[in-house]
Structure 1
Amino acid sequence: MESKRRNIYFDNGSTSYPKAPGVADAVAHLLTHGAFNINRGNYEGAYEVAEMVLETREKLAALFGASDSRQVVFTPGITFSLNYFIKGLLKPGDHVLISGLEHNGVMRPLHQMEKCGITWEIVPTDMDGTVLPENVESCIRKETKAVIMLHASNVCGTILPIGEIGEICHRYGLYFAVDTAQSAGSIPVKMQEWHIDFLAFTGHKGLLGPQGIGGFLLSDRLNEVLVPVITGGTGSQSDSYDVPDTLPDKFESGTMNLPGIAGLHAALSYIEKVGMDKIHGKKMELTEYFLEQIGQFSDIRVVGKQGIHDRVAVVSLDFQGRDNAVVAFELEQNYGIMTRVGLHCAPLAHETLHSYPQGTVRFAFSASNTKEEIDVCIHAIREIDI
């Protein structure tokens, strides 16, 4: 009998797999034993779910260095969160600064807002993804309202100097929004210390939770001016047609993804128990090993930074002389190695990194991966590369 092929998952930049232990059980438990709605039901089961939601806010506030758990707002994901910021803050005539690595979660809303008189500018970004804080400062105009930047690139893994950029934003009175899609749960994020006004997160990547749950944290000064994009029932102040001005109700109209929050609660508990540093350390050991092995191939370009410093566990390869899509197909079909190929919803980043329009084959590792799996992958690449 033919043995079943072993599948190897290297697409953790898209979503983590496997999820943290306990996530599936937490979701199933809520759905099976008490899928009650909070802020609506006045009974013990609903109060227990509300307590779980509050604990999840507290865990996120502590993880991201926020001053109050009420600053944590749940959304379906980071794309929704970024839209809330861009469309709830910017007005005609406003100018925005971005890096040359931004995801379409930022670029498409900004492009839409151009029709409303919003302008944006790319801060000079090097071919390896480096953004110098002094270049951010030199791009500031009198009409600049905000700076929006990802913390780590979903294409090449480069980490941006968010703390230094935040200090500049604070000095100039600009609103600072940070996309933590590839950093949350992997490397420290310090909202207050780094003067971040809007911190967007997703639960299903480095935080090891289920898809469909994310959110944002916002500063008090941003809360004063940010207009809710989605409004409706909150279960509070139901006698008024006005949106509540208290957090988090102001931005949480409608029924939340409570099963998703339950799963995220379990994932955050796991990260607390094991330690984020330990999880990240394992991922970077694998990244370093992978980069060392890839160095033997003269016709494969590592896109972005060549070493492991100032990066997360995301590596993009350009198989020069080959069709990257064909390489990714062969890795999956013949060896069971799952990657992501293409432009990764970030054409701007690929233009900056000189990998447009061909895109790259992206490898993103988790702490569940092993060196043995990387050895299998390198062997496969060697056979494909012949």
Structure 2
Amino acid sequence: MMIYLDNSATSFPKPAGLTAEMGDCMERYCGNPGRSGHDMSMLTGEKVYRARKTVAEIFHITDPSRLVFTKNTTESLNMAFMGLLQDGDHVVTTSMEHNSVLRPLEYLRAKGVSHTIVDGSSEGYVNAEDIEAAITEDTRLVAVTGASNVTGTIQPLDEIGRICARHQIPFLVDAAQLAGCSEIDVEKLGISLLAFPGHKGLLGPLGTGCLYVDPAIQLQPLLYGGTGTESRSRIQPQEFPEGYEAGTVNAPGIIGLGYAVRMLRKVGIETVELYERELIGYFDEMIQNMDFIDLYGPVPEGKTGISLFNVRGVECEEVAAQLNKDYGIAVRSGYHCAGLAHKTIGTWDTGAVRLSVGPFNTRRDLRAAAEAIWKIGKRRR
């Protein structure tokens, strides 16, 4: 069986019982929530609401209706950018962002929305003071990744949140790599908009994501269409959450997400964070003593469960291919949809191999990966 070490792309395996929960929905009651008054529709609606409430609680969101279900973090981020920004607005972001942040902002440049990219350090850290220095009188939004998908570097969200509050600027956090892997309290961190996936650290199914929108934020919907409310009007409703979830939602996926989050809460996010940090520290310690390894990013205490490295003399894609074919180990190589982050840390010309752990991995998995990398490195000579 394959050793799965690509949890930053999507978590695997999923919690026991998740597929049964989704299957129960599909087989027993899967009506269209919010569209009909019969028992199947209403039960599906109740289950979706329960999932919304469960997910909201782990981020300390007091009003679950402000949590909008999407299909992934990319959709959530686009909903935030397109719904908030207008001609003349300015955005502050960082060089460690995923293309799900940088590409929408580049598109909006043609719409009159400018942005400033604050450089991170060679380890991927962004200085909160540099964020503040980039703010202008036209700044409408500060958008920062909670943790880099390339290096795992965790950013100082509390400091940045205080800066945004002081300047009365909304604070958007891309929590694709942080949600479920570290505690996030939207109130304490001063987060105005939080975008995150259901299928990574929250251990839910693919095709699920969310956007939290603070009650003080006015947002235009990204999609226009059926909401199950105000059907006689041709104007899109803007009540939360229905006005921002046009069309039929992925009810089985959302219900599965709610189940996964309940299982995660039983274990405890802090427990998961400490366990994954211990695992990645164990792996980093094993490979950093190999004389042919270049290891990037911060020490384990400053990152999520990601290790980014290269084997000198072997292209990163070849390392990943050998791990897959010869050793049955799944990792990811290349630029990880974040080319600017690679430029920041010095791997623009090479890309790198990314190994990422999850709560179901063991020390044995990491030891097997390190031994395989040792063999690949020795073979290159």
Q: Same fold (TM over 0.5)?
A: yes
C-alpha displacement of 1:137 = 0.8
Structure 2 counterpart of 1:125, from 120, 131, 136? 120
User: How far 1:369 sits from its partner (Å)?
Assistant: 0.9
Q: Once the 2 structures are TM-superposed, how far is the Cα of residue 281 of structure 1 from its aligned partner?
A: 2.0
> Which residue number corresponds to residue 251 of structure 2?
258
* 2:168 equivalent to 1:173: yes
Q: Does 1:134 align with 2:124?
A: no
Work out which of the residue numbers 265, 270, 277 in structure 1 matches 2:263.
Answer: 270
Q: After superposition, what is the alpha-carbon deviation per residue over 1:311-335, rounded to whole angstroms, capped at 9, x for unaligned?
A: 1001111222221111111111100
Residue 330 (structure 1) aligns with: 322
Question: Given the alignment of the two structures, is residue 107 of structure 1 paired with residue 99 of structure 2, yes or no?
Answer: no
Shift of residue 385, structure 1, vs aligned partner? 0.5
User: Aligned AA for 2:280?
Assistant: T
* Aligned positions of 1:50-65 closer than 5 A: 50-65=45-60
Q: In 2, are the aligned partners of 1:303 and 1:355 still within 8 Å (CA)?
A: no
Q: What do residues 147-172 of structure 1 show as CA deviations (whole Å, max 9, x unaligned)?
A: 11110010000000111101111111
The answer to whether residue 64 in structure 2 is matched with residue 72 in structure 1 is no
Q: 1:344 aligns with which of 336, 343, 352?
A: 336
* Aligned counterparts of 1:286 and 1:77: Cα–Cα separation in 2: 27
For the residues of structure 1 that align with 2:60 and 2:27, how far apart are their CA atoms? 34
Counterpart residue type for residue 208 of structure 1: L
Q: Does 1:164 align with 2:159?
A: yes
CA distance in 2: counterparts of 1:196 and 1:131, whole angstroms: 17
2:306 is matched with 314
Over the aligned positions, Cα root-mean-square deviation in angstroms equals 1.1
The code of the aligned residue for 2:344 comes to: T
Q: Is the 8 A contact 2:220 2:238 kept in 1?
A: no
**Cα deviation 1:294-315 (Å, max 9, x = unaligned):** 121122111111x211210011
In structure 2, the residue matched to 1:12 is: 7
> What is the TM-score when the length of structure 2 is the normalising length?
0.97
After superposition, residues 190-209 of structure 1 pair within 5 angstroms as 190-209=185-204
Q: Which amino acid aligns with 2:255?
A: A
Deviation (angstroms), 1:118: 1.4
Instruction: Report the CA distance between 1:173 and its aligned residue.
Output: 1.4
The ranges of structure 1 where at least 4 consecutive aligned residues each deviate by more than 6 angstroms after the TM superposition are none
Task: Name structure 1 gaps, 5 residues minimum.
Answer: 1-5
Cα distance in 1 for residues equivalent to 2:251 and 2:101: 26
Offset of residue 260 of structure 1: 0.5
Identity of paired residues, percent?
Answer: 37
1:378 to 360, 364, 370: 370
- Kept after mapping to 2: 8 A contact 1:318/1:355: no
- SS for the counterpart of 1:296 is coil
For 1:379, the aligned partner's letter is: E
Contact 1:67 1:192 (C-alpha < 8 Å) held by counterparts: no
Give the Cα–Cα distance (whole angstroms) in 2 for the partners of residues 91 and 16 of structure 1.
36
Contact 1:97/1:139, CA 8 A, preserved across alignment:
yes
Measured in 2, the distance between the counterparts of 1:193 and 1:374 equals: 35
1:53–1:261 contact (8 Å) kept in structure 2 = yes
Alpha-carbon distance between aligned partners in 2 of 1:205 and 1:15, rounded to the nearest angstrom:
5
For 2:114, give the aligned amino acid.
Answer: T
TM-score for the superposition, normalised by structure 1? 0.96
Report the residue type matching 1:234 in the other structure. Answer: T
Which residues of structure 2 form unaligned runs of 5+? none
Provide, for residues 325-369 of structure 1, a one-character-per-residue CA deviation record: whole Å limited to 9, x for no partner.
111111111000110000000001111111113111000001111
* Equivalent in the alignment of 1:3: none
**In structure 2, C-alpha distance between the alignment counterparts of 1:204 and 1:327, rounded to whole Å:** 26
Cα separation, 2, equivalents of 1:77 and 1:125 = 26
Q: How does 1:184-263 map to 2 (within 5 A)?
A: 184-222=179-217, 224=218, 226-263=219-256
Aligned counterpart, 1:282: 275
